[in-house]
Amino acid sequence: MAGEWQQKPLVELCLYLNRGSAPAYVTTGGVLVLNQKCVRDQRVEFLEARCTDAASKPITAERMLCPWDVVVNSTGVGTLGRVAQVKTLPGPATVDSHMTIVRPDPRVIDPEYLGLVVRLFETQIKELGEGSTGQTELSRGRLGSLVVPVAPRSEQRAIAHILGTLDDRIELNRKMNEALEAMARALFKSWFIDFDAVRAKAEGRDPGLPADIISLFPDSFEDSDLGEIPKGWTLGVLDQLVDRVLGGDWGADEGTDETSESVRCIRGADIPDLQTGGTGKMPARFLKRTSLEKRRLSDGDVVVEISGGSPTQSTGRPVLVSGALLGRLDMALVCSNFCRVVKLKSPALSKFVYLWLRSLYANDEFFQFENGTTGIKNLAFTRFSSDYKLCVPPLKVLKTFDQYVSPLFEKQQMNAAETDTLSALRDTLLPELLSGELPVQDVAKSERRFP
């Protein structure tokens, strides 16, 4: 370690280090309560949070989250040890009893620096759990005794600035990609759910689209089993648009012989990140070449999660596979056996089908096609794809829509490629800076050359 660097137990750097409390869940109102699903890839996702009734089950002041708190998943297998730092809060929030709050003491350590240190030690934290299989727990004592490096205060601030800047740029790209996804979904809704252009033409209003696109839409409606649809459009089912549907293959942990190929495999947990241009944490697996030849994902394929739903969340999450995504991966891409691969009859259908499935998932339309146990639900995809009616526009409209929204998806992939570069740089710098091996002054001088 360089000159003034020290090693200290985590507990000595904290104002508070303790578990949250069991919530009294409510469906409306209340205080946000983070659970272990909210922490993934060292980020906090508040959309996964539920609410607790603080009136019926009071929350002590120290258990209310503050900016710069670090949260650590502290129960179970697979989620235990995940860490993230809360930089901003959407409102009053706390954590449940399966998570630990690590609150930096700003008198002894820079709060953002401590968040970076805990992130660096995530693997070691995962190994601190104790107990039997399925009941593993991370005690506050073992977490608090974790010894971490503490740089001089000026270097803490410099390290936090350098790595925080990269984090901020990565987060900005993520938010931009979410906005691009929302724009594509809004355009789909306008064209194919609300039929805005058709309504405007029928009422003699300007639809607000280029003339060549306006000319593609009729100016009247006709009755159908789904209600009024644009004149000349038809009702159909997904099967009519599909060339074939394939099951996934989870493969093996290791290659068994020369006929095995290494691949990246999409799991349900990867889909939210993939939907906004990321690459998730798709694990490397091994598939027989015969299976890979059949199941290799291609540009324009749509992958749908068909297992893993719960009483409050359905299956059916889709993701669109793009050539740009495939080009950013180091291996061929497949999906797990908890998914289905939808290969469409025309490339022009891919974004239409993907955004249609996105809208169905957002509106909980898949619940009616689920079966399975109380804990885990499965989507009866064959029944869904042959029974669920949708309004199908002429192919010329679909091709035009594909061209109209493609720049949004292309920009997503450009942002995601930049994020890959920034993430690799951050992950390289993190251990080197926090070990003192790389002088912070050297990085500060070169910061202007960051991508």
| CA pair distance 252, 291, nearest whole angstrom | 12
The CATH superfamily assigned to 234-392 is DNA methylase specificity domains (3.90.220.20)
Q: Nearest-CA neighbor of 146 among 183, 173, 119, 168?
A: 119
What's this model's pTM, rounded to 2 decimal places?
0.87
Q: What is the pLDDT of residue 408?
A: 97
What's the one-letter identity of residue 140?
A: R
Give the pLDDT of residue 1: 42
Query: According to the model, what pLDDT value does residue 136 have?
Result: 87
Mean pLDDT by 10 residues, the chain (451 residues): 80 97 90 93 89 93 97 89 95 96 97 96 93 82 96 94 94 95 97 97 94 96 96 97 96 84 93 86 92 96 89 85 94 96 96 98 92 79 97 97 97 94 93 88 62 51
Tell me how long the chain is.
451
Pairing of strands 332-335, 260-266: parallel
Q: Which pLDDT score is estimated for 450?
A: 52
Distance in angstroms (rounded) separating the CA atoms of residues 124 and 126: 5
The segment(s) of the chain belonging to CATH 3.90.220.20 are 6-150, 234-392
Q: Can you name the residues that pair with 52 across neighbouring β-strands?
A: 25, 31
Give 6-150's CATH code, choosing from 3.30.70.60, 3.90.220.20, 3.40.630.10, 3.40.50.920. Answer: 3.90.220.20
What are 84's strand-pairing partners?
71
Q: What is the pLDDT of residue 27?
A: 85
As a whole number of angstroms, the distance between CA 351 and CA 110 comes to 46
End-to-end CA distance of the chain: 29
How far is Cα 443 from Cα 205, in angstroms, rounded to an integer?
A: 58
pLDDT for res 76: 83
Task: Give the separation between CA 436 and CA 451, rounded to whole angstroms.
Answer: 23
Residues 6+ apart with CB under 8 A from 2: 436, 439
Q: What's the confidence (pLDDT) of residue 2?
A: 47
